[in-house]
Structure 1
Amino acid sequence: MVKTAYHNFGKGDKFKEMFANLFGDSVLVQDGEPFKQTNKSIALAFASPAFRNKTVTILSAAVHKKLIPLLSHAAANYIPLDLQDVFRRLAFDNTCMVGFGIDPASLDLDLTTVPFLDAFDGAIEALLLRAVLPRFCWKMMKFLRLGSEARLMSGRTVVYEFVDGLLARLSAAGYDLYDSPCLGAFWTYIRLERESGRDYSLEMIRSSMVSLIMAGKDTLSAALTFFFWLVAQHPEVEAKILAELQGILHKSAKKEEWTFGFEEVKQMDYLHAALSESLRLYPPIVAEGTEAAEDDVLPDGTQTEKGAQVWYSIYSCGRLESVWGEDCLEFRPERWLQNERFVRQSDFKFAVFNAGPRRCAGREFAYWHMKWAAASILIHYQIKMVDKHPVIPKFTIVLSMKDGLLVTIHPRNRDRV
């Protein structure tokens, strides 16, 4: 008898053990009923009108008061930028603002070093080594505090010191950590969890905050980085995006400022299609793994034993000719359009945001973030790749570029847009 993957498969004890040092018992490693209940609260927090209104305000301010001034400064002073680093900082600030109500202000004109970001990335890389090393090996390294395990513990200290600093700022401002939904989506989620009878200890709050930062910062920055790299190689796609944005601006009350509001962002069908096409080819999460909780039979007849690990490649699924056609390796946003309107594909065909019970509750937020940033950049600037800069994919938990994405910024002539 074939049973549902939700009941018979989960992250498994091995996965939890590997990632517990950084993510604790948060939603990233939960299984079964605990995950189902937690994810329900997250979805409710993200679906509230208050969340949408707050998110719209935060994203608009971040783009127009942080991102555009930074690009303008770089253009005026002929300063090349690592676009991947810029997007990482933007996503980090926005995730903290939307989630916790606090701005870490990492996207300044000088791009000052942010210890948290470097420590977090180093800790993630150290965690991944646990997946390829024998268990006894990394356990011994952890006990002796050697090599990657020493870097993991050092990075974890910096990460949790940052989270503790956020909590201290909220407490000093007089907020109740267990009942501050006005601050951000995370605190709405905590309140919903309490109302459902699930009280969070301070340690659970801390690890859940780290998980939220991971889910927002890394995926969004990776998605935008590969999108701009693809657009730079396909001027015909860039031209179509600009034509759409120009048409939207001409009908907008904001056309004199060259800014977009939420109503304008919702009209960007071609941009939405181009972002989805980029995600298909370069998904931020390249693979997902799960573990059989008991013996089972997969829908295709494959036998699985209890404890067996099953992995699927999201990266490969997005490039299957049998699913996407003979042009599956081409960057062609038109495949997402019908009568010039964006048409969503099945989550099980386009699994970038996962599917079924584990589908990402923040998908709409992700698209708002990407569309606002991409539209605002493209209408103001042409982004050119620095000659001979190597673009090498780096496969970690989140797909990124090994050496970043070095670009120069060139203001557009408004009369030609």
Structure 2
Amino acid sequence: MEYEASFLLQSLQSSFCYFFFSFALCFSIFSFLPYLVRLKAWCKCDVCRGYVTSSWSTEFDNLCDWYTHLLKNSPSRTIHIHVLGNTITANPDNVEYMLKTRFDNYPKGKPFSAILGDLLGRGIFNVDGDTWKFQRKMASLELGSVSIRSFAFEIVTSEIKHRLLPFLSSTASDEQDRVLDLQDVFQRFTFDNICRFSFGLDPGCLELSLPMSEFAMAFDLASRLCAKRALSLSPLVWKAKRLLNLGSEKKLKKAIRLINILADEVIKQRRKLGFSTHLDLLSRFMGTVNDDAYLRDIVVSFLLAGRDTVAAALTSIFWLMAKHPEVTTAILEESDRVMGPTQELATFQQLRDMHYLQATVYESMRLYPPVQFDSKFPQEDDVLPDGTVVKRGTRVTYHPYAMGRMEEVWGPDCLEFKPERWLKKGIFWPESPFKYPVFQAGFRVCLGKDLALVEIKSVMLAVIRGFEIEVDEPDNSPRFAPGLTATVSGGLPVLVRQRRRRS
């Protein structure tokens, strides 16, 4: 009797699960149909056919290179991917219009917020309107203070001296040449750095004696899976998987749960021990925000922005310098003039005095911006300066990667790596942020820009003054993995050797 009752219960549970799954699947399919209609999924134009069939991949290594090709051949430097409902532009006038002139009409938008909502919640990079204005003002006051900038610089120099350089030295001292993934090293370094700066937490990712922290691995996984959401033809696909707790959405939920547990514990302990004497962002924000969930969203947003972007920038810089050894030589000569040949780490003022170093960073990010594109969703129908009509609620994307390759913007040598283009009589001379929106521009210009540049330049100098970096197969163009930032698929394999002392 008990066996029959148990068998009946299992049958009912199986039937219910089957019914629920079938219902969810049918609901997704029927919900998906109007989405296909709205996006003109039947479009047979060459561009849409190339995207749907991935035929572009026979000629181009990366989707961003194909978009660049299409944008170069468009008279307005604007194209339409109908099946995605996406208008993409590399026109500086359009960028200024979206990011400044009609900023209020081009918010991040709900579709973007939904993709990162589980990870970033109400954090600054995932909100619009009054919530964004409040966090922007608060973050601007904190990041602009002398004390926080000094604190950030101290963390960077400490991480370089006590972790990054010893880590590279241990590799360089091996009797046999050992290939090292420099991209992975930079990701570990920047994660340690941004965690200490944002949370006052030290995950120790570059400690040779410690395994990779669970927090770092969870954060990596959550970032990748959120980016995977953006690749879905319809948000209904990942939303259905989230509803049913299946596949990638199940993994994402588990990763975010771990991030939240750790973040909540850090906030709890900081409140218990006091925060008024601490300089990390979490402690600074605690003086204004009492909602712990809100605090967690704010700080995790800074972790996402400050980690992967800097690592991506450093990876591209070292790949380009491997192809152009004359640039490394020029940086070494400049640093010797400013610092002398034996000083290990540069001071804040010395970094400011190295104009060729600054030009190299900007030139690298012109060709390989850490964030290759950014999208907005207009609240009202509009017409861009080049005459392109955009409909309310559709996606409009500006493309810094393609913009760095436009001849009318950068000249006939736009594909060449030439730091000198940023110098006038040896002095660094910035361009309009609307032709170079690597740090965004207008009202949403990156608040952490100066901190990021200091970190990038500090790492560059310390590494090239101490080591010779030989990139494996430097002539191969990077292939980018799908993600929120320009992560190189397969990493950046290098050989590290001690640089001989210069006199």
Aligned to 1:147: 247
2:266 to 148, 163, 166: 166
- Taking the aligned partners of 2:217 and 2:419, their CA distance within structure 1 comes to 34
* 1:235-283 deviation digits (Å, cap 9, x = unpaired): 1111111111111122xxxx64433221221212111111111111111
1:188 to 284, 300, 312: 284
Deviates more, 1:259-268 or 1:3-12: 3-12
- Taking the aligned partners of 2:366 and 2:352, their CA distance within structure 1 comes to 21
Counterpart amino acid of residue 479 in structure 2? I
Aligned to 2:316: 226
1:108 lines up with 2:207 in the alignment: yes
Asked which structure has the greater CA Rg, the reply is 2
Counterpart secondary structure, 2:396: strand
* 1:221-248 deviation digits (Å, cap 9, x = unpaired): 0000110011011011111111111111
* 1:120-153 deviation digits (Å, cap 9, x = unpaired): 2222222233222423322221111112211211
1:121 to 212, 217, 220: 220
8 Å contact kept, 1:97–1:103: yes
Consecutive unaligned residues of structure 2, counting only runs of 5 or more, are 1-96
Aligned to 2:487: 400
- Taking the aligned partners of 1:389 and 1:299, their CA distance within structure 2 comes to 39
Deviates more, 1:118-127 or 1:108-117: 108-117
Aligned to 1:212: 302
Mark the CA change 1:49 to 1:274 in structure 2 (over 3 Å): closer, same or farther.
same
- Taking the aligned partners of 1:75 and 1:269, their CA distance within structure 2 comes to 29
Cα distance, 1:305 vs. partner? 2.5
- Taking the aligned partners of 2:413 and 2:393, their CA distance within structure 1 comes to 38
8 Å contact kept, 1:273–1:337: yes
Aligned to 1:50: 147
1:246 to 336, 339, 352: 336
- Taking the aligned partners of 2:402 and 2:235, their CA distance within structure 1 comes to 28
Deviates more, 1:39-48 or 1:159-168: 159-168
- Taking the aligned partners of 2:278 and 2:150, their CA distance within structure 1 comes to 11
8 Å contact kept, 1:389–1:406: no
Mark the CA change 1:256 to 1:334 in structure 2 (over 3 Å): closer, same or farther.
closer
Aligned to 1:60: 157
Counterpart amino acid of residue 122 in structure 2? D
1:308 to 374, 394, 401: 394
1:367 to 437, 453, 460: 453
Cα distance, 1:55 vs. partner? 1.6
Counterpart secondary structure, 1:349: coil
Cα distance, 1:169 vs. partner? 4.3
Aligned to 2:117: 20
- Taking the aligned partners of 2:354 and 2:197, their CA distance within structure 1 comes to 22
- Taking the aligned partners of 1:73 and 1:168, their CA distance within structure 2 comes to 38
Consecutive unaligned residues of structure 1, counting only runs of 5 or more, are none
Counterpart secondary structure, 2:258: helix
Deviates more, 1:239-248 or 1:99-108: 99-108
1:329 lines up with 2:418 in the alignment: no
Mark the CA change 1:256 to 1:234 in structure 2 (over 3 Å): closer, same or farther.
closer
Counterpart secondary structure, 2:178: coil
2:442 to 356, 360, 370: 356
Q: Which runs of 4+ in 1 moved over 6 A?
A: none
Identical counterparts, % of pairs? 35
8 Å contact kept, 1:273–1:336: yes
8 Å contact kept, 1:96–1:213: yes
Counterpart secondary structure, 2:398: strand
Cα distance, 1:392 vs. partner? 2.4
Aligned to 2:196: 97
Cα distance, 1:315 vs. partner? 0.8
Counterpart secondary structure, 2:496: strand
- Taking the aligned partners of 2:265 and 2:472, their CA distance within structure 1 comes to 38
- Taking the aligned partners of 2:209 and 2:405, their CA distance within structure 1 comes to 39
Counterpart amino acid of residue 76 in structure 1? S
8 Å contact kept, 2:267–2:292: no
Deviates more, 1:130-139 or 1:289-298: 130-139
Aligned to 2:274: 175
Cα distance, 1:181 vs. partner? 6.4
1:269 lines up with 2:355 in the alignment: yes
- Taking the aligned partners of 1:40 and 1:313, their CA distance within structure 2 comes to 27
- Taking the aligned partners of 2:499 and 2:386, their CA distance within structure 1 comes to 53
Name the Cα RMSD after superposition: 2.1
Counterpart amino acid of residue 140 in structure 1? A
Counterpart amino acid of residue 187 in structure 1? S
Counterpart amino acid of residue 241 in structure 1? I
Counterpart secondary structure, 1:409: strand
The count of aligned residue pairs is 401
- Taking the aligned partners of 2:435 and 2:259, their CA distance within structure 1 comes to 35
Counterpart secondary structure, 2:487: strand
Aligned to 1:413: 500
Aligned to 1:341: 427
